[in-house]
Amino acid sequence: MPSPYQTAVFGVSGYAGAELARLLLHHPLLHGHAPIFFGRPDEEKGTPIPLTDLHPQLADNNGAGILAVEPFHWDRLGKQNVDVVFLATPHEQSRAWVPRLLQHGMRVIDLSGAWRLDQETNRAIYNLEDQDPDAALAIQKKAVYGLPELHREQIASARLIANPGCYATSIILALAPLIREKRIDLGRGIVCDSKSGVSGAGKTPTAKTHFMHAADNLSAYSLFNHRHTGELLEQLGLRAGDIIFTPHLLPIPRGIFSTIYVNLQEPTAPEVIDACYRNFYADSPMVRWSGSRLPEIQYCVRTSYCDLGFALARDGKRLVVVACLDNLLKGAASQAVQNMNLLFGWPEQEGLT
């Protein structure tokens, strides 16, 4: 039977937008209701662009070839009876559009960083300017951070879901079980050494991301001021002095590899650490816990999973947790679909495994 729900996607031209389109087009419970793809705002006289001109890999024998990215106008959107809008748009654009989308009665899943951060000091890194600061603050207070493993109940009833950052997803999932059980000696600090494939920087090339710079290279960037740091602090209840997060650029197309170093409050057996994670993620189908077998990017890339594993020193106090995921999927598009599944009351992993 055709799905009763209609989705729309803004920003389909980027890497994450392409993955989002692919997942929605093949989602078994959206059969009969292909997403509506919109272009830039107020292009009333624009010409539709075939979706497969932007992304030839989406061509199939089921009708994807006739889908188009439509010129956008607010009146046109209002006539489509859209239930959920996905925003794969720049932060500033998402911040400006969400208030009006909510006024149209639509639910929004935003893949940008525009609504992820509750604290103004953390949000300042985006340099966002609101036309109506009071209205934006009211919306911000109701936005739900879209990490299902932590907030699935709030996500199910949310009107605005702020999809997490890719680095933040890997680190939060790696640390949340330990923090819940208060096992980490925060006085010794947490060190997060994270690496991302080049697609994490977006589709527009820069001097640091083009082939001649990134190939055969490894570089650190945004030390002590990466945009995802605020997400770690707010979602894990940490202070800035509790954690050091250093991102690096890997010379591969996609994937996140985070190595997290912590000291435990007291000597702990490996079996206790294993049970801590297994219990925490017992009902989380998109987290794969491998115990003492450490994850690798090659096993999670192009999947919707976050893979977690650990190594514990002989003293039982020094612990290393490794987290791997695909930055375009669990770090972006598939996590957005996971959130949509929760909104519609569907199995969390539907269309993702």
Output b/e per residue, 151-185; b: 16+ Cβ within 10 A: bbeebeebbbbbbbbbbbbbbbbbbbbbbebebbe
pLDDT tens-digit series, residues 226-238: 999 999 999 999 9
Q: Which of 166, 300, 306, 324 is catalytic?
A: 166
Would you call 183 helix, strand, or coil by DSSP?
A: coil
Count of CB atoms situated within 10 Å of the CB of 193: 16
Is the confidence at residue 159, as pLDDT, over 90?
yes
pLDDT (0 to 100) of residue 44? 55
Is the confidence at residue 42, as pLDDT, over 60?
no
- What span, in angstroms and rounded, lies between the C-alpha atoms of 352 and 8? 19
pLDDT tens-digit series, residues 116-149: 999 999 999 999 999 999 999 999 999 999 999 9
pLDDT (0 to 100) of residue 33? 84
352's CB contacts (< 8 A; 6+ apart) are 23, 286, 304, 334, 337, 338, 341
- 192 assigned to active site: no
Band of pLDDT at residue 110, cut at 50, 70 and 90: very high
pLDDT tens-digit series, residues 165-213: 999 999 999 999 999 999 999 999 999 999 999 998 888 888 888 888 8
79's CB contacts (< 8 A; 6+ apart) are none
Domains of the chain: 7-163+332-343 (3.40.50.720), 166-325 (3.30.360.10)
Is the confidence at residue 248, as pLDDT, over 60?
yes
Band of pLDDT at residue 309, cut at 50, 70 and 90: very high
Band of pLDDT at residue 2, cut at 50, 70 and 90: low
pLDDT (0 to 100) of residue 207? 85
User: Dihedral angle at the C-alpha atoms of 336, 341, 343, 345, nearest 10 degrees?
Assistant: -170
Q: Which of 30-44, 203-217, 246-260, 269-283 has the lowest mean pLDDT?
A: 30-44
Mean pLDDT to the nearest integer, 42-57: 80
